[in-house]
Structure 1
Amino acid sequence: MGIKEFYSGVSPSTIVPSTATPPTRLSHFTIADYAVCVLLLVLSLAIGLFYARQGRGQNTVRHFLLANRSMGFLPVALSLLATFQSAVALLGVPGEIYRSGTEYWFLGCSYFLGLLVPAHIFIPIFYRLNISSAYEYLELRFSKAVRLCGTLTFIFQMVIYMGVVLYAPALALNAVTGFHLWGSVLALGIVCTIYTSLGGLKAVIWTDVFQTVVMLLGQLAVVIVGAAKVGGLGRVWDVASQHDHISGIDLNPDPFVRHTFWTLSFGGVFMMLSLYGVNQAQVQRYLSSRNEKTAILSCYAVFPCQQVVLCIGCLIGLVMFVYYLDHPLAPEQAEVSSDQMVLYFVMDILGELPGLPGLFVACLFSGSLSTISSAFNSLATVTIEDLIRPHFPEISEKRATLISKVLGVAYGVVCLGMAYVSSLMGPVLQAAISIFGMVGGPLLGLFCLGIFFPCANSAGAVVGLLAGLIMAFWIGIGSMVSSMTSSTVLPPHNGTGFLSHRNTTVVTMTTLMPSAVSRPTGLQRFYNLSYLWYSAHNSTTVIVVGLLVSLLTGGTRRQPPNPRTIYPVLPRLFAFLPRSCWDCLPCQGYSEEVSYKTDKVPEKISNGKLTGCGEEEVVVVVPEQGHIQGDHGHAFILHETSL
């Protein structure tokens, strides 16, 4: 399952063979439409070049990868929104509503906790540790080995997905509008590589802001024109209600039912946490804020933005449903996938208005650009901070910045290469997309293990992560194999299926309706776990296995964790215990007196030194495995820093 589908609730994309040639459309792209698309690319490139020129002479990694921690809350919030609002989601959400009704809208209930927890737990810890990469936290909390495992897992996750998110929407556009497939792939990839590698994070954030505006305008154009053609939004609601397309609250607690209120509202919380809590692309934006309060405020500002985007996507799906009730589809049109249905709908209602189809395609391009640029930037960051600088600490800031820019270009080439590979993968593409979602849950579990459980140690973290990944791949691949071996006419219960056709290749980002056949049992039923519970299930596996291994290996008695890496939930729960009982717990050394809440910021570890945010440097001997220790005779050096 891909990042946009996994985190927005849209089921996975698949490349499938198609028997029917796509129906011929009366509307085609005009010069005005192409001009709008080219203008988007030119303006995105111009923003990147502007910030590249503005940042000339500021050759530090802090400036290039963290925008010198100077960003305000609004651009950061819009960038957070754009990062995971890809073209796949822009097509998938209306397609889901068109096929299945508005039940998916209840995913919005998960946004509250999914953003509140990162704002008050993850952001304060990451920001006050003065880190650049989220995986630096893993070394401060556990060890270098855990940091390396987390970094390599993230790189694998992003590299697999980059080409898919670039190629899949381009393929759908080509099938419906005749938009040149590889022309759009190359244009997006090259433009994104240039402004990301030259302008750094500041350019990425401000282009995200611009692209967010374009996405909203494109979607609003579809809603306004479409609603006008079917008699207004009032009629849309009435007709959808009459045809049972306005869903009620389904309180069925069964986790094997694809969409229920509990699945969307609570299963979605874990997906939001893995996205907005520990994903490097988002953490990097929090860390670019001018202070901690701004970072928290940006997280709060995302909440209404997410709700607006969700509602607009739902409205497009409802308008499309009513429009095709009034204008029935031809039999060959009814066979196409939901994502293509959205594009056909756009061409049907906007085709007579030159420039507006181009605006919607520019909206899709914006979704792809924002996602890919975030991938490039975050990959460059973790590569330089987690893989290169720890082994070559003598690298100067100027050279490290140059290496970061080269890495941005290198990952751009990798992205184009992965797009080409995606075109050859056939049905295997679903596995590539699913890998992204499979990895998100275990990484969330790894960070939660460190943040909430002081007794967890390095051995538990490594074994727990491996157990979570094994469980994730078992369920994910088992679900795909199960769906491939089942009948092509009867889609699987969790909505991940294939449509059987003959001649052409099309992308389906559709969510199929559950079959009315008897429900599977045994492992088949296990494989039909709702995709919205994947993150919760896999992260819980990491935590349970990690705690068991930690307790079996002595916990953290011999090496207490850095107090600033712990959110003191368990210490507060155990505070009522007498001192004699506390001394028996396998998490000795934790002291809330020196916790993440203090206004003092610990120094960054660099080759046995603690380097501060300011001009000073404090040199100490760092204990084994790079930990800065707390009480019980261990050194814990702090440096006053203004936030």
Structure 2
Amino acid sequence: MEFTAIDYSIFALLLVLSSAIGLFYALSGDRQRTVQEFLLANRTMSFLPVALSLLATFQSAVAILGVPAEIYRFGTQYWFLGCSYLLGLLIPAHIFIPVFYRLRITSTYEYLELRFNKTVRILGTVTFIFQMVIYMGVVLYAPALALNAVTGFDLWSAVLTMGLVCTLYTTLGGLKAVIWTDVFQTLVMLAGQLAVIVVGAQRVGGMAHVWRLAQQEGRISGIDLDPDPFQRHTFWTLAVGGVFMMLSLYGVNQAQVQRYLSARSEREAKLSCYAVFPCQQLVLCLSCLTGLVMFAYDQQHPLAPSGRPGFSDQLVLYFVMDVLKDLPGLPGLFVACLFSGSLSTISSAFNSLATVTMEDLVRPHYPGLSEPRATLLSKLLALGYGLLCLGMAYVSSMLGPVLQGAAVGLLAGLAMAFWVGIGSLLRSSGAAGGTPPPNGTVLPPDGNLTTLLATTLLAPTSAPPRGLQKFYSLSYMWYSAHNSTTVVLVGLLVSLLTGPTPAADVDPRTIYPVLPRLLCCLPPKCRRGLCCGGDSPDQDAGPRHTEAKSNGVANSLGPPRWPGEEEGQGYIRREGAPTCALQETSF
């Protein structure tokens, strides 16, 4: 299982073209001379490249390796995750994007200061930086580790090459280069997966035969309506828990919101969210079909016992190298597909980390920073995070198994997240050391980062967990829902105990009237109740503009429009009305 010269050439071509895109945008246009151009692509992007970049950002090598292995081992139940994509993208398009876009923010965490205070903003920023720094090291290291185990491809050469190339084009070309390399890398990912499916299905007698064989062996799953949240994958776990996971990724994550804000208008930003839906479904289908083809191929061409991979993160690579071994170039295409997933994810991490550091931690303390100095500092931050990523990749090599893992509300949510995550990790450590955990789950030895991140080896056994062990067995698909619910409930409780924020102190543009919009057919009296006892949004009350702040600047006429933004999108608030009594108008 070795690479040929053609395979190495295809892999090298991926790196060269990615670097070339970064150099092109470093030497064209305004040459990344302003913070706006470097961090937000000058707000000139159309919806299609933004949509493909949104898709690529979290379509990492972890997913490319993990999802087919999940289908191969446990069947197609995971496919129902696609049911969560509709609400998981409609809600960001119609609730999150309008609020973020009209506020003219650069960092997602600016919203937290506008809505709450600076302390909440800093907490959100620091949490994001901590999470992304760890994540990007793992995303860089894990696929290189799997590739090294299967093909002998030098581990640290792959890590250093990817890290340096990604740092180069992100630092030189800014967000515009990141978005267009994401587009290119998305096409490479689709081509690599499609090649494996076509060739693999042809080797076993066609896709119809693959499906029949999977049905015979019980790999085609029906709808499991078990509501138990401790079952790893059920319809409710995937379809409902998946919505919260999608909201955490496509609703509030800085890497994604930054792409929405790079669109030339709010309409283009919304269209990018719509366009991601079929793309996500296509990617999910390709990953699931890869798993089914891999299963059918293994039934007809089983590997020798000594040749079977020890970890499920190597299953896909063993299959690819075996099925494509007599087709020079195609193994290299799949490896390019694999590393495209890593490049797109970590380049987005570099750019978003530079953005939040600049906007949330640097600018507030140095408001008089000149544009050239701010731009240079943003580039140096991107470079610094790129080098830090290489360091985290080294740290990841020594971590062993890694699992998923308002101010008081945020801290409570983090505490719950760490409680569940660390509890699961400790329970898993016993298994990794040879002592089965109480629920019988057997995890792989240290170093299997990709498998653990993709949660492909958490197969339940007959011994049911009890007490806290049961709590630690909560399906990873419910983590986002569990933690966000904790944040909301604790935040509401503290607000009730300490008293609500006066309506006059709340920027009305930070509130989206969800319930009045959803229940617009109710009588006005009922809608007033939904607005905390105030007037409903549709009542005439002689609109009067109130002063609102945007990026620290008072604006008595509501939020200013960006170039290309349609009229009729502003919010005004009537004097004396509660904060949810918002009304659309045109300026």
| 1:333 Cα deviation from its structure 2 partner | 3.5
Q: Provide the residue aligned with 1:527 in structure 2.
A: 472
1:576-591 superposed matches below 5 A: 576=524
Q: Indicate which of 541, 564, 575 corresponds to 1:631.
A: 575
Q: Secondary structure at the match of 2:240?
A: helix
Q: Secondary structure at the match of 2:551?
A: strand
Q: Provide the residue aligned with 1:230 in structure 2.
A: 204
Q: Provide the residue aligned with 1:172 in structure 2.
A: 146
CA-to-aligned-CA distance 1:118-177 (integer Å, 9 cap, x gap): 010000110111111111111111111111111111111111111111011101101101
Q: Provide the residue aligned with 2:567 in structure 1.
A: none
Residues 600, 641 of structure 1: 8 Å contact kept: no
State how far apart, in whole Å, the 2-side matches of 1:105 and 1:90 are: 14
Q: Provide the residue aligned with 2:337 in structure 1.
A: 363
Unaligned runs of 5+ residues in structure 1 are 1-26, 439-460, 616-627, 635-639
The aligned amino acid for 1:606 is: G
State how far apart, in whole Å, the 2-side matches of 1:589 and 1:497 are: 58
Q: Provide the residue aligned with 2:268 in structure 1.
A: 294
State how far apart, in whole Å, the 2-side matches of 1:327 and 1:300 are: 41
Q: Are 1:537 and 2:511 counterparts?
A: no
The aligned amino acid for 1:179 is: F
- Among all aligned residue pairs of Structure 1 and Structure 2, give the percentage whose two residues are the same amino acid: 66
| 1:569 Cα deviation from its structure 2 partner | 2.9
| 1:248 Cα deviation from its structure 2 partner | 0.7
Question: Once superposed, what is the RMSD of the aligned Cα atoms?
Answer: 3.2
CA-to-aligned-CA distance 1:35-54 (integer Å, 9 cap, x gap): 00000000000001001111
Q: Provide the residue aligned with 2:118 in structure 1.
A: 144
Q: Are 1:247 and 2:191 counterparts?
A: no
State how far apart, in whole Å, the 2-side matches of 1:130 and 1:516 are: 51
Q: Indicate which of 274, 277, 292 corresponds to 1:318.
A: 292
Q: Indicate which of 463, 468, 472 corresponds to 1:518.
A: 463
Residues 495, 513 of structure 1: 8 Å contact kept: no
CA-to-aligned-CA distance 1:180-208 (integer Å, 9 cap, x gap): 11111111111111110110100000000
CA-to-aligned-CA distance 1:371-404 (integer Å, 9 cap, x gap): 0000000001111111111111111222211111
Q: Provide the residue aligned with 1:564 in structure 2.
A: 509
CA-to-aligned-CA distance 1:3-59 (integer Å, 9 cap, x gap): xxxxxxxxxxxxxxxxxxxxxxxx310110000000000000000100111134552
Q: Are 1:351 and 2:297 counterparts?
A: no
Q: Secondary structure at the match of 2:63?
A: helix
Q: Secondary structure at the match of 1:134?
A: coil
Q: Indicate which of 523, 538, 551 corresponds to 1:605.
A: 551
State how far apart, in whole Å, the 1-side matches of 2:495 and 2:538 are: 21
Change (3 A) 1:143 1:86: same
The aligned amino acid for 1:604 is: S
Q: Provide the residue aligned with 2:569 in structure 1.
A: none
| 1:604 Cα deviation from its structure 2 partner | 2.7
Q: Provide the residue aligned with 2:493 in structure 1.
A: 548
1:105-504 superposed matches below 5 A: 105-334=79-308, 336-427=310-401, 430=402, 434=404, 438=405, 461-486=406-431, 497-500=442-445
State how far apart, in whole Å, the 2-side matches of 1:154 and 1:495 are: 34
1:36-55 superposed matches below 5 A: 36-55=10-29
| 1:542 Cα deviation from its structure 2 partner | 0.4
Moved over 4 A (4+): 486-497, 504-507, 570-583, 587-594, 598-603, 607-615
Change (3 A) 1:58 1:417: closer
Deviates more, 1:234-243 or 1:510-519: 510-519
Q: Secondary structure at the match of 1:390?
A: coil
State how far apart, in whole Å, the 2-side matches of 1:544 and 1:332 are: 53
TM-score by length of structure 2 reads 0.89
The aligned amino acid for 1:525 is: K
Residues 463, 546 of structure 1: 8 Å contact kept: yes
State how far apart, in whole Å, the 2-side matches of 1:496 and 1:590 are: 53
| 1:514 Cα deviation from its structure 2 partner | 2.9
CA-to-aligned-CA distance 1:189-240 (integer Å, 9 cap, x gap): 1111111011010000000000000000000110011011111101000111
The aligned amino acid for 1:391 is: H
The aligned amino acid for 1:211 is: Q
Residues 67, 201 of structure 1: 8 Å contact kept: yes
| 1:568 Cα deviation from its structure 2 partner | 1.1
State how far apart, in whole Å, the 2-side matches of 1:99 and 1:582 are: 48
State how far apart, in whole Å, the 2-side matches of 1:601 and 1:369 are: 44
| 1:352 Cα deviation from its structure 2 partner | 1.0
Change (3 A) 1:580 1:301: closer
CA-to-aligned-CA distance 1:396-451 (integer Å, 9 cap, x gap): 22221111111110000100111111122234xx15xx3xxx4xxxxxxxxxxxxx
The aligned amino acid for 2:87 is: L
The aligned amino acid for 2:575 is: D
Q: Provide the residue aligned with 1:453 in structure 2.
A: none
State how far apart, in whole Å, the 1-side matches of 2:545 and 2:180 are: 30
Deviates more, 1:490-499 or 1:315-324: 490-499
State how far apart, in whole Å, the 1-side matches of 2:21 and 2:457 are: 40
Unaligned runs of 5+ residues in structure 2 are 564-571, 579-584
The aligned amino acid for 1:308 is: L
Q: Secondary structure at the match of 2:280?
A: helix
The aligned amino acid for 1:283 is: V
Q: Provide the residue aligned with 1:32 in structure 2.
A: 6
CA-to-aligned-CA distance 1:90-114 (integer Å, 9 cap, x gap): 0001000010001100000000000
